[in-house]
């Protein structure tokens, strides 16, 4: 029996008020009886008060837990220049296009020995979004809805991005997507297991919580920025010397 179950982004695609009474509570009770914890993607909030693209933690562990997506996708999750463009969006009846961003820093999920840092969709394309949960988190999780990208290169690219984040952080990384590619990635970025695309599949495996800080966790992207600036200054200096010699 798995001690942690991870379901994709918007695995429950409805707001709490749209669900049958006791629906989420019944899932939590089932998980507790099996001594399991689960991370499940679903929107939280209401149309009146605002809503977030979130992951909820249910079952064993420090419940209730939620992670609200901070780095929202323009036009897909929020509308730039809202006052100007909102009438067109309302005319097209596009639902849930006005998500509220979550806080910059959010606590990790605690489930037994696990301290889980969560990201949603392409948040893991941004190294600093993943780094926020470190070094506290000893396991990283990304949930995504990759159905938007169909049979294109994007889901494969997203998997490669997640593998880079795992190696940077020195943490094992779980990906759960609704159409694939779900994966278990080791702390070197190696692909331990993966699901096929476009077919029902339950990916199972073992993970090892890891502690400590890699140079990236400690320093972030500053070494790259400084190196880039030094190279730029060196190129400018050589160009200047070449002009003077001419």
Residue carrying structure tokens 């993970």: 207
> Exactly one of 25, 77, 113, 121 is catalytic; which is it?
121
9 carries an active-site annotation: yes
List, edge to edge, every strand of the sheet that includes 37-46: 4-6, 37-46, 50-59, 65-68
Residue carrying structure tokens 């190129």: 235
Name the H helices within 58-211: 82-92, 127-131, 154-169
Two tokens at 184?
């278990």
Two tokens at 143?
């949930």
The Cα 145–Cα 8 span in angstroms is: 7
69 carries an active-site annotation: yes
Angstrom CA distances, 69 to 79, 104, 137, 174, stand at 16, 9, 17, 17
132 carries an active-site annotation: no
> Exactly one of 9, 123, 129, 168 is catalytic; which is it?
9
Angstrom CA distances, 132 to 29, 49, 126, 240, stand at 31, 27, 11, 41
Q: Identify any residues that bridge with 50 across adjacent strands, giving them in sequence order.
A: 46
Q: Which residues are catalytic?
A: 9, 69, 121
């Amino acid at each position: 029996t798995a001690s942690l179950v991870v379901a994709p982004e918007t695995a429950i695609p409805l707001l709490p008020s749209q669900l049958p009474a006791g629906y989420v509570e019944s899932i939590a009770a089932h998980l507790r009886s099996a001594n399991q914890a689960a991370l499940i993607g679903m929107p939280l909030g209401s149309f009146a008060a605002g809503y977030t693209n979130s992951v909820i933690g249910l079952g064993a562990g420090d419940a209730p837990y939620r992670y609200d997506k901070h780095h929202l996708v323009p036009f897909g999750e929020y509308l730039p220049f809202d006052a100007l463009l909102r009438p067109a969006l309302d005319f097209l009846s596009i639902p849930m296009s006005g998500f509220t961003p979550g806080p910059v820093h959010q606590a990790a999920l605690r489930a037994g020995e696990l301290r889980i840092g969560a990201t949603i969709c392409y948040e893991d394309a941004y190294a600093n979004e993943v780094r926020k949960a470190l070094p506290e988190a000893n396991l990283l999780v990304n949930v995504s809805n990759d159905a938007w990208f169909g049979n294109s290169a994007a889901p494969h690219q997203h998997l490669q991005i997640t593998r880079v984040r795992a190696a940077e952080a020195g943490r094992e990384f779980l990906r759960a997507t609704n159409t694939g590619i779900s994966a278990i990635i080791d702390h070197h970025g190696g692909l331990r297991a993966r699901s096929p695309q476009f077919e029902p599949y339950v990916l199972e495996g073992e993970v090892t919580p890891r502690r400590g800080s890699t140079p990236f966790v400690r320093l972030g992207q500053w070494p790259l920025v400084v190196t880039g600036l030094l190279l730029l200054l060196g190129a400018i200096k050589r160009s200047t010397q070449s002009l003077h010699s001419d």
